[in-house]
């Protein structure tokens, strides 16, 4: 496990999107506990003061919407010349499932922008900061619903999750492409299915505690930043099918 930095040393830095609640909030909490200066991207300005009160002085709220084209510039400005050791693309949205006749095409676009284009822009803008770190990691909090293998087996109500499935499948392809390009730059990229979480987005029968999921996720990526991980994993590190 990465130790908290020694006195006087530069604290490692993390960026977590969608940190106002759910898995993102717990992930930011875990990172602050481990001594990470954590930029918490939240879209509601009212969430920012409470976040600092809950997470402490290592947490730095950044008010930004990941769908905004300026999100990368805004976060990169705050990072300045520092290194980013860990970037967690966690912000996510699940539009209501619907049949084709009622599907809103704008929901599909919104899901694509939230889960794929936003993370792409943010990673692009933070690339110099990721390069400055030793062994940086980029995590895409993905979903089993973005898996073609899983979707092909699910002929039940899952088939109605057009927007979410398409958004998460796009995010998976982004993750794989970044992984292949950035491997030579010592930047590890991984997509993670975090489990079925008891959060606002979770299903009624969700089994997993988001605090436990965040602790597992952080352990997975911080235990050994040089460890090669499969490209798409469950949060304990087991490979997830594409």
Beta carbons within 10 angstroms of residue 27's beta carbon: 31
Nearest distance in Å: CB 45, ligand NAP: 10
Nearer to ligand NAP (CB atom), residue 21 or residue 132: 21
Find the length of the chain: 242
- The single residue listed with the structure tokens 């900061």 is 129
Helix, strand, coil percent content, the chain, rounded in steps of 5: 45, 15, 40
Judge whether 232 and 220 are in contact, CB under 8 Å.
no
The single residue among 141, 182, 191, 229 that binds ligand NAP, judged by CB under 6 A, is: 141
146 binds ligand NAP (CB under 6 A): no
CA distance 129 to 137: 12
Q: Applying CB under 6 A, does 51 fall inside the site for ligand NAP? A: no
Minimum Å distance from CB 101 to ligand NAP?
A: 25
To the nearest whole angstrom, how small is the minimum distance from the Cβ of residue 6 to ligand NAP?
33
Choose which of 11, 33, 35, 43 interacts with ligand NAP (CB under 6 A): 43
Closest CB to ligand NAP among residues 16, 182:
16
- The reply on whether position 201 binds ligand NAP by CB under 6 A is yes
CB contact set of 183 (below 8 Å; sequence gap of 6+): none
């Amino acid at each position: 496990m990465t130790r908290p930095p020694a006195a006087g040393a530069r604290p490692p830095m993390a960026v977590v999107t969608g940190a106002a609640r759910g898995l993102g909030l717990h992930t930011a909490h875990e990172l602050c506990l481990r001594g990470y200066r954590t930029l918490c991207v939240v879209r509601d300005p009212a969430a920012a003061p409470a976040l600092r009160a809950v997470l402490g002085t290592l947490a730095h709220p950044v008010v930004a919407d990941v769908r905004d084209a300026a999100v990368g510039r805004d976060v990169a400005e705050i990072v300045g010349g520092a290194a980013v050791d860990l970037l967690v693309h966690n912000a996510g949205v699940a539009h209501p499932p619907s049949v084709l006749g009622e599907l809103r095409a704008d929901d599909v676009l919104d899901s694509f922008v939230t889960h794929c284009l936003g993370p792409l822009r943010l990673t692009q803008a933070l690339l110099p900061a990721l390069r400055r770190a030793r062994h940086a990691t980029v995590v895409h909090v993905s979903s089993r619903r973005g898996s073609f293998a899983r979707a092909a087996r699910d002929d039940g109500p899952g088939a109605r999750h057009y927007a979410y499935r398409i958004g998460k499948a796009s995010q998976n392809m982004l993750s794989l492409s970044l992984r292949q390009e950035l491997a030579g730059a010592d930047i590890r990229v991984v997509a993670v299915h975090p489990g079925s979480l008891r959060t606002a987005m979770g299903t009624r029968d969700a089994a997993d505690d988001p605090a436990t999921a965040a602790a597992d996720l952080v352990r997975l990526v911080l235990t050994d930043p040089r460890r090669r991980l499969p490209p798409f994993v469950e949060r304990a590190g087991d490979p997830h099918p594409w």
